[in-house]
């Protein structure tokens, strides 16, 4: 897979990032280099390799799910941008 200058500009427009001509050419080169490396990785035979979740050979320590703070509702509601005694009010984000 290759990325051309037109695609770089299209992606920058979609992501609303302004990219000048020089930067777009550098991004084109960098992205093509990344995709070439990915294609190399895809050619590797990993059929006999077990999947990893972490490179560290450790087991996570579980803890009890305990309530440590009781009756802090008023303290939390003090941080609400709008005064309301029942729930946390935030500005509307989606129209």
Domain count, the chain: 1
Containing domain of residue 28, as a range?
5-42
What is the distance between the alpha carbons of residues 66 and 63, in angstroms, rounded to a whole number? 9
CATH code for the domain in which residue 17 is found: 1.10.20
Asked if residue 59 belongs to a domain, the reply is no
pTM strictly above 0.85: no
Give me the tens of pLDDT residue by residue for the chain, a chain 95 residues long: 789 999 999 999 999 999 999 999 999 999 999 999 999 999 999 999 888 888 888 888 898 998 888 888 888 888 887 777 788 877 777 76
Phi first, then psi: what are they for 25, rounded to 5°?
-65, -40
The string of DSSP letters for the chain reads ----HHHHHHHHHHTT----HHHHHHHHHHHHHHHHHHHHHHTS--TTPPP-S-SS---PPP--------S-HHHHHTT-SS--SSS--------
């Amino acid at each position: 897979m290759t990325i051309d200058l037109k695609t770089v500009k299209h992606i920058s427009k979609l992501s609303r990032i302004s990219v000048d001509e020089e930067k777009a050419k550098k991004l084109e080169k960098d992205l093509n280099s990344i995709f070439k490396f990915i294609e190399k990785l895809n050619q590797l035979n990993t059929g006999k390799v077990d999947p990893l979740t972490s490179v560290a050979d450790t087991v996570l320590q579980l803890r009890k799910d305990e309530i440590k703070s009781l009756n802090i509702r008023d303290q939390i509601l003090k941080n609400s941008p709008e005064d309301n005694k029942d729930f946390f009010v935030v500005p509307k984000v989606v129209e």
